[in-house]
Copies of this chain bind each other. A is one copy, B any other.
Amino acid sequence: MPVYTTTLEFSTHGDSEIVDITERVQEEVSRTPLTNGLVTVFVPGSTGGVITLEHEPGLVRDLKEAFERLVPRDHPYHHDRAWRDGNGHSHVRASLVGPSLSVPLREGKLALGTWQQIAFVDFDNRSRRRVLIVQVMGD
């Protein structure tokens, strides 16, 4: 069975930046000969997550504020006491949101809704170079 695995690379500013990667994922999928199957986007790291959202400026702010209310940056995390890198909140947020998203592929297209985009969320507290894995299985 055909399995195609590629990567997406880009830079982020961190601080729960929400990066719309829909077109880049679709481009990677379109490079494969597959037209039906499953597309998995995976973050190989413990301070990032993958979500879907309507990627418009209001909701991007709403989500960032929700992350801050639910898992505040200034809480005294045990991780920070031990490792002194100040990103305890990044790890907790990433574990709750999750590193993996699977989207059906239909007739060559990601089966997303009209106002639904795939986004990477960089929960870390600094700029980073990120590499995500995009895998396509099917026929």
Copies of the chain in the assembly: 3
Contacts of A79 in B (CB 8 A): 54, 56, 58-59, 62
- B104 adjacent to A78 (CB under 8 Å): no
* Interface hub of A42, A46, A78 (most chain B Cβ within 10 A): A46
User: Residues of B contacting A95 with CB < 8 Å?
Assistant: 51-53, 59, 63
Q: How far is the CA of A121 from the CA of B97 in the complex (A)?
A: 15
**Contact pick for A91, options B43, B62, B80, B106, CB 8 Å:** B62
Given A38-B38, A100-B103, is A88 in contact with B116 using a C-beta cutoff of 8 Å? no
Q: How far is the CB of A125 from chain B (nearest CB, A)?
A: 14
When the two chains form the complex, which single residue of B52, B58, B66, B100 contacts A99, counting CB atoms closer than 8 Å? B52
Give Cα distance in the complex from A139 to B78, angstroms: 42
Chain A contacts with B in 77-120, Cβ cutoff 8 A: 77-83, 88, 91-92, 94-104, 106, 111-113, 115-116
| SS of A interface (majority) | mixed
Q: In the bound complex, what is the Cα–Cα distance between A135 and B138 (angstroms)?
A: 11
Indicate whether A21 reaches chain B with its CB closer than 8 angstroms.
Answer: no
| A44–B138 alpha-carbon span in the complex (Å) | 19
Residues of B within 8 A of A58 (CB): 77-83, 88
Instruction: Tell me which residues across on chain B come within 8 A of A56, comparing CB atoms.
Output: 79, 82-83
Q: Are A138 and B137 in contact (CB under 8 A)?
A: yes
